[in-house]
Amino acid sequence: MFSLTEEQIAFIENDIKVRGITSPDLSIDLLDHICCLIENKLDEYRNFDTVYQETILLFGKNGLKEIQDETNRLLTFKHYYTMNKTMKISGYVSSLMILFGAFFKFNHWPGASPMMVLGVFFFTVLFLPLLFILKFKASAENNRSVVLSTIGFIAALAISAGVLFRIMHWPNARLLTITGCALLVLGYLPVYFLSIYKNTTNKINATATVILIIAGAGLFITESNTGLTRQVSDSFWRGVTENEQLLNFVKKENQLVYKMVETNSSSDSTSNSTVFKELRSSTTELIEYMENMKAFLISNTENISLEAAHKINIDELRTSGGGDITSEILFAATNSNYTAAKLKEKIENYKSIISKLDDSIDLNNLTTTNVVVYGESIPWEQSNFEKLPIPLIVFNLNRIELAVLATESAALHQLH
């Protein structure tokens, strides 16, 4: 085995410093390691310069500088590998949850919303912050890269939060999405163009990145602008409010008729008060069941008490969702007191009672037969409750209540 001369060792030591090794301890370790590698390869057929260049190539594409950077990272950022591993795992898990959640959503399978919410939550709370921290540390010496990472992080955070808010029907979803897209186009792209595009030799990849960002931002903004317009939404909710007002009005009118009946029955011994009592009790029982059903569903979807659910104003449910939760309760739960099938059964029982009291009363407004939509026959339960957000379910229950009260009013006028 050949030994290196003092001049060769000095050359190696100086070259190590030139290649970016600033740590004395690391410099000594590398010098010793490189010398050993060279001495093992040297023979009478190979000169020092050739063996040295081959040995340097063993340290990777970026050479010794990469070892220095990795050493600095470990010294100044002790949890780098743990955070890097956590970032990768959270990225894979969150992206898969979002993907499968979207697939479940398209097929109207249960668990879609929780899966997507958890996916977006892990993506926003774990993956994006860790990615930003690691990128920030890696580009700490480049001011433009730091700015680029910061803008990208804020934009991605806003877009992810906007998607989550849209899934959950929370307010300001569109504002968050548009803000994130605006940051990408107006903030990220200019800095990216100045710091990377002009200096890169791979113009195709850089151009593709710019195009993808612009196209993606356009698609996000377009998607966030779809759905009901503000005017249509306000018109619908005005109808919901007026329906509730009409519901309370008919209740009061029917109570006035009952009072008149009670007054007349006290002075007229021939009055059939039993019929009116049966009508009143059966109507009250059905109305109370639907009121309790509404409160139970609201309590579960909004995570509030039953008492608070009874008092909540329907206008406060504008941005509520809960379609999976309500469907689970109304269709899948075996031990629930409030299912679509039980409500249908109670409505049919009520119709039977009304028919016995007076078979001339029109009961078409309380029909529970299948509904034909675009030529397809849909069961009454599904058309009124399946996969619908809680505001629409409450509206449909109010509509059925109004039909019951209208039937009660017709019976009162027929029997009075």
Give a three-class secondary structure readout of the chain.
Answer: CCCCCHHHHHHHHHHHHHCCCCCHHHHHHHHHHHHHHHHHHCECCECHHHHHHHHHHCCCCCCHHHHHHHHHHHHHCCCHHHHHHHHHHHHHHHHHHHHHHHHHHHCCCCCHHHHHHHHHHHHHHHHHHHHHHHHHHHCCCCHHHHHHHHHHHHHHHHHHHHHHHHHCCCCCHHHHHHHHHHHHHHHHHHHHHHHHHCCCCCHHHHHHHHHHHHHHHHHHHHHHCCCCCHHHHHHHHHHHHHHHHHHHHHHHHHHHHHHHHHHHHHHCCCCCHHHHHHHHHHHHHHHHHHHHHHHHHHHHHHCCCHHHHHHCCHHHHCCCCCHHHHHHHHHHCCCCCCCHHHHHHHHHHHHHHHHHHCCCCCCHHHCCCCEEECCEEECHHHHHHCCCCHHHHHHHHHHHHHHHHHHHHHHHHHHC
Please give the backbone phi and psi of residue 376, each rounded to the nearest 5 degrees, phi first.
Answer: -105, 130
Of the listed ranges 19-28, 180-189, 290-299, 403-412, the one predicted with least confidence = 19-28
Quick one: how far is CA 395 from the chain centroid?
Answer: 24
Mean pLDDT of the chain: 78
pLDDT of residue 401: 92
What are the domain boundaries of the chain?
6-68, 73-224, 230-415
C-alpha to C-alpha distance for 260 and 392, rounded to whole angstroms: 36
pLDDT tens per residue across span 65-118: 666 666 655 555 556 677 778 888 888 888 888 888 878 766 657 777 788 778
pLDDT of residue 352: 93
Instruction: Tell whether the model's pLDDT for residue 139 goes beyond 70.
Output: no
Give residue for tokens 């992810």.
160
345/118: higher pLDDT:
345
Instruction: Tell whether the model's pLDDT for residue 7 goes beyond 70.
Output: yes
Asked whether the CA dihedral 397, 398, 404, 407 is positive or negative, the reply is negative
Of the listed ranges 176-185, 248-257, 361-370, the one predicted with least confidence = 176-185
> Looking at residues 387-399, what average pLDDT do you find?
88
C-alpha to C-alpha distance for 234 and 236, rounded to whole angstroms: 5
C-alpha to C-alpha distance for 47 and 403, rounded to whole angstroms: 100
pLDDT of residue 260: 83
Of the listed ranges 182-186, 188-192, 253-257, 406-410, the one predicted with least confidence = 188-192
Find all residues with CB under 8 Å of 44, minimum gap 6, and list them. none
C-alpha to C-alpha distance for 393 and 338, rounded to whole angstroms: 13
C-alpha to C-alpha distance for 263 and 308, rounded to whole angstroms: 37
C-alpha to C-alpha distance for 285 and 310, rounded to whole angstroms: 16
Instruction: Tell whether the model's pLDDT for residue 43 goes beyond 80.
Output: no
> Looking at residues 109-136, what average pLDDT do you find?
78
109/259: higher pLDDT:
259
> Nearest Cα to 386, choosing from 335, 323, 296?
323
Output the pTM of the full model.
0.52
> Looking at residues 12-35, what average pLDDT do you find?
74
Instruction: Tell whether the model's pLDDT for residue 172 goes beyond 50.
Output: yes
Instruction: Tell whether the model's pLDDT for residue 343 goes beyond 90.
Output: yes
Q: Hey, what long-range contacts does 351-354 have (CB within 8 A, 24 or more apart)? A: 353/278, 353/279, 353/282, 354/279, 354/282, 354/407, 354/411
Distances (CA, A) of 16 to 8, 22, 47, 99, 139: 12, 9, 19, 48, 23
The pLDDT > 70 percentage for the chain reads 74
pLDDT tens per residue across span 262-307: 777 665 554 567 888 889 999 999 999 999 999 999 998 888 889 9
pLDDT of residue 270: 47
Three-state SS string over 93-155 comes to HHHHHHHHHHHHHHCCCCCHHHHHHHHHHHHHHHHHHHHHHHHHHHCCCCHHHHHHHHHHHHH
C-alpha to C-alpha distance for 298 and 293, rounded to whole angstroms: 9
CB 379, CB 326: distance < 8 Å: no
